[in-house]
Amino acid sequence: MPENDNRTRRELEAALRGLLGQKPLGQLRVRELTERCGLRRQSFYYHFTDIYDLFAWCLSRERALLLDRLGVEGARCVLFDDSPAACRAAQAAGVAAVGVHDSFYAAYEEEMRTFCDRYIMGFSELL
């Protein structure tokens, strides 16, 4: 990937992280991200289909960086909230655990909770 593409993606990632501290992922708009970076909306859509695509890219990049830093295989690592109970559970399972606690992961948790709620509701309607 050309360096320019990487720079644009990283700028969008930084804007996303900054805005996630101010409002939930579902309320963010592409316009807000691009204005914060000084980019045109077309530049955003050249790289990502929507904000959720950017968010997924950011998560996969963050996970890869963490795993590399830890020297751990992806299948043996989990991200969790940094409570003592979560730390003990991960250690007992023999899993390399990374405690995280910031607005980026709070947004991830919220999106996963929403996704699971929708999935369960859709499934229960079939019964």
28-87: pLDDT as tens digits: 999 999 999 999 999 999 999 999 899 888 888 877 776 676 665 555 445 554 555 655
Closest CA to 99 of 66, 75, 68: 66
The structural domains of the chain, with segments of one domain joined by +, span 3-126
Closest CA to 14 of 46, 45, 57: 57
Within 10 Å of residue 54's Cβ, how many Cβ atoms? 22
Rounded-to-integer distance, Cα 48 and Cα 55, Å = 9
- pTM for the model stands at 0.63
